[in-house]
Amino acid sequence: MTEGQPRGRRKVQTVSVRAIVLTGFGINCDNETQSALKRAGAAAERIHLNDIIDDVSRLDAYHIFAVPGGFSFGDDIASGKILANRLRYKLGDALRKWIDDGKLMIAICNGFQVLVKMGILPLFDGEFARVTTLTHNDSGRFENRWVHLKTDPATRCVWLKGVEGLPLPVRHGEGKFVPQDDAVLRRLQADGQVVLRYVKPDGSPAAGVFPWNPNGAIDDIAGVCDPEGRILGLMPHPEAFVDRTNHPTWTRSALPDEGAGLQLFRNAVEYARTNLV
Active site residue 237: yes
> Does residue 104 lie in a domain region?
yes
pLDDT < 50 regions, the chain: 1-6, 8-12
> Does residue 4 lie in a domain region?
no
* pLDDT score recorded for residue 154: 86
> Does residue 106 lie in a domain region?
yes
> Does residue 6 lie in a domain region?
no
* pLDDT score recorded for residue 196: 98
State the Cα–Cα distance between residues 28 and 40, nearest whole angstrom. 20
> Does residue 7 lie in a domain region?
no
State the Cα–Cα distance between residues 253 and 249, nearest whole angstrom. 6
Active site residue 174: no
State the Cα–Cα distance between residues 250 and 237, nearest whole angstrom. 17
Among 143, 172, 239, 247, the one annotated catalytic: 239
Residues 6 or more apart in contact with residue 149 via CB below 8 angstroms: 165, 166, 167, 168, 196, 197, 198, 199, 222, 223, 236
State the Cα–Cα distance between residues 71 and 52, nearest whole angstrom. 19
Three-state DSSP class for residue 27: strand
Query: Is the CB of residue 233 less than 8 Å from the CB of residue 115?
Result: yes
Active site residue 239: yes
Query: Is the CB of residue 132 less than 8 Å from the CB of residue 224?
Result: yes
Tell me the per-residue pLDDT of 82-97, one tens digit each, with 9 for 90 and over.
Answer: 999 999 999 999 999 9
Among 109, 157, 172, 247, the one annotated catalytic: 109
Q: At 92, which CATH number?
A: 3.40.50.880
Among 63, 148, 172, 237, the one annotated catalytic: 237
Tell me the per-residue pLDDT of 165-188, one tens digit each, with 9 for 90 and over.
Answer: 999 999 999 999 999 999 999 999
Residues 6 or more apart in contact with residue 20 via CB below 8 angstroms: 44, 45, 47, 52, 59, 62, 64, 65, 66
Find the domain containing 46 and state its range.
Answer: 18-275
> Does residue 2 lie in a domain region?
no
Domain count, the chain: 1
> Does residue 113 lie in a domain region?
yes
Give the predicted TM-score (pTM) of the model: 0.93
> Does residue 188 lie in a domain region?
yes
Q: Where are the alpha helices (DSSP H) in 40-179?
A: 49-54, 81-100, 110-118
